Amino acid sequence: MTDSPMQTRPIAAADNKPRVITTMPRAIGFMQLWRREWQVKQQGAVQWLYPLVLFLVIITLFPLAVGSEPALLQRLGVSAVWIAALLSLVMGVDGLFKPALDNGTLAQLVVAKASLPLWVLIRLVIHWIFSSGIVAALSLLAVPLFQLSWFEAWILMASIVTGSPMLLMLSAVASSLTLSLKNGAVLVPLIALPMQLPVLIFATGAVDLFATGLNGLPILALLLAGSILSVLVMPWVIALTLKMSWLN
């Protein structure tokens, strides 16, 4: 994406004296930002495949380490899948904003007066599709691996869909705060994980309630409300932090 400075062009007036009309640059719209970020994500396929491979490795090796006892696998299956989803999500946030700062994309967006919160939101939504969205679908593997029922597996997938946007926003905040540090990637999990633990506890608790025949919908609704609130607020906080990092 290149900067679009103001352009001037001479025109001929009625008195045959050239005059200059100044044209303002076109604003960078939603579709332009979306197409660019989608292409960038597709070009970096190897980077977003690593967290998915980590998720598959964890949920595959966990039953082998615990054993083949059905009752134990069913009791630990939901927690194992959620921990794997959380670790894969935290692993993938290191490259959210650092490349944009290094290659000048962030500077171009600021100079072009593009909407940084909109850019942040688009970037995070696309990242969620390629990370937590796929992880939510892969969580159905808990049926053969942990011998969960299909009902529990669908509730587990619903909990990941409703809770993962909040997890991603918290991880993105941690990533933006450590952007200007030399070894900031090491600090991202240390900052994000304490804030993400309540989401993990509530999500696994909701699945356990459904498994025991109780109503876990209020907890899922609470997770969804928290995710919606974080999507509405966090992009503005992240955009402000990114701008401060660029200025420094």
- Lowest mean pLDDT, pick from 84-93, 142-151, 161-170: 84-93
Residue 9 lies in a domain: no
Residue 203 lies in a domain: yes
pLDDT for the residue numbered 184 = 67
Residue 22 lies in a domain: no
Residue 146 lies in a domain: yes
Residue 23 lies in a domain: no
Residue 94 lies in a domain: yes
Count of the separate structural domains present in the chain: 1
The answer on pLDDT for 11 being more than 50 is no
pLDDT for the residue numbered 44 = 67
Mean pLDDT throughout 163-176? 91
The answer on pLDDT for 203 being more than 90 is yes
Measured CA to CA in angstroms, residue 208 lies from 59, 79, 159, 165, 169 at distances of 18, 10, 11, 21, 25
Collapsed DSSP state (helix, strand, coil) of residue 244: helix
Band (212; pLDDT cuts 50, 70, 90) = confident
Look at residues 69, 70, 67, 119 and name the one whose alpha carbon lies nearest to residue 96: 119
Residue 5 lies in a domain: no
Residue 98 lies in a domain: yes
- Lowest mean pLDDT, pick from 16-25, 153-162, 201-210: 16-25
Band (45; pLDDT cuts 50, 70, 90) = low
Q: How far apart are CA 214 and CA 224, in angstroms?
A: 19
pLDDT for the residue numbered 55 = 92
- Lowest mean pLDDT, pick from 42-56, 136-150, 166-180: 42-56
- Lowest mean pLDDT, pick from 98-107, 222-231, 233-242: 98-107
Domain hosting 144: range is: 31-247
